[in-house]
Chains A and B, each alone.
Chain A
Amino acid sequence: MQIYLPIAEISVNIFLLLGLGLGVGFLSGMFGVGGGFLMTPLLFFIGIPPAVAVSTEANQIVASSASGALAHWRRRSLDIKMGLLLLLGGTAGSIAGVQLFAFLRSLGQIDLIISLSYVSFLGIVGGLMFIESLGALRRRGRDQTATQPVSKRRKRRLIDRLPFKTRFPSSGLYLSVIPPIIIGFFVGVLAAIMGVGGGFIMVPAMIYILRMPTSVVVGTSLFQILFVTALTTFLQATQNHTVDLVLALLLMVGGVIGAQLGARAGRKIKAEELRIALALMVLIVCAKLGWDLVATPNDLFAILPMREGGH
Chain B
Amino acid sequence: MINLLAAAILLAQGQPDLEAPPDIAPRVVAALSQENVEIRSDFAGADIILFGAVTGLEDTDDLVIVVRGPQTDFRVMRKERTFGIWINRAPVRFADVPSYYSVASTRPLQDVGTFSSLRREGIGLEHLRLSAPDSERTEVRLGVEVTVSDVGNEIIEYREAISRNRRRDNLFAETASGVQMLEGGLFRATVALPPATPVGDYTADVYLFRDGRAVASGAVSLEVHKAGMERVIYEFAHQHGWLYGLVAVALALLFGWGAAAIFNRR
Interface residues of A (CB under 8 A from B): 1-4, 6-7, 9-11, 59-60, 62-67, 70-71, 108-109, 111-112, 116, 230, 233-239, 241, 243, 245-246, 248-249, 252, 256-257, 260, 293-294, 296-297, 299-306, 310
Contact = CB atoms under 8 A, between A and B. Distances in A.
Interface centre among B72, B75, B164, B231 (most CB of A within 10 A): B75
A243 B260 contact: no
B93 A301 contact: no
Nearest to A257: B259
B245 interface: yes
28 contacts: A1-B42, A2-B43, A6-B233, A7-B234, A10-B195, A10-B196, A11-B43, A11-B45, A59-B249, A62-B249, A62-B252, A62-B253, A63-B259, A66-B256, A108-B77, A230-B252, A230-B253, A233-B252, A234-B245, A235-B245, A243-B248, A245-B233, A256-B260, A257-B259, A301-B164, A302-B77, A302-B88, A303-B161
A63 B252 contact: yes
B244 interface: yes
A304 B259 CA distance: 39
A10 to B, nearest CB: 6
B76 A4 contact: no
Nearest 6 Cβ contacts at the A-B interface: A66-B256, A237-B245, A67-B260, A301-B161, A256-B259, A62-B252
B44 interface: yes
B251 interface: yes
B40 A4 contact: yes
Nearest to B83: A294
B88 A237 contact: no
B146 interface: no
Nearest to A292: B86
Interface in B38-96: 39-45, 72-79, 84-88, 91, 93
Given A2-B43, A6-B226, 6 more contacts: A4-B40, A6-B234, A9-B196, A233-B249, A237-B242, A305-B74
Contacts, number: 181
Contact of A238 (B74, B157, B242): B242
A60 B249 CA distance: 9
Contact of B253 (A6, A66, A112, A296): A66
A32 to B, nearest CB: 15
Contact of B248 (A59, A301, A302): A59
A302 B113 CA distance: 32
Contacts of A252: 252, 255-256
B101 interface: no
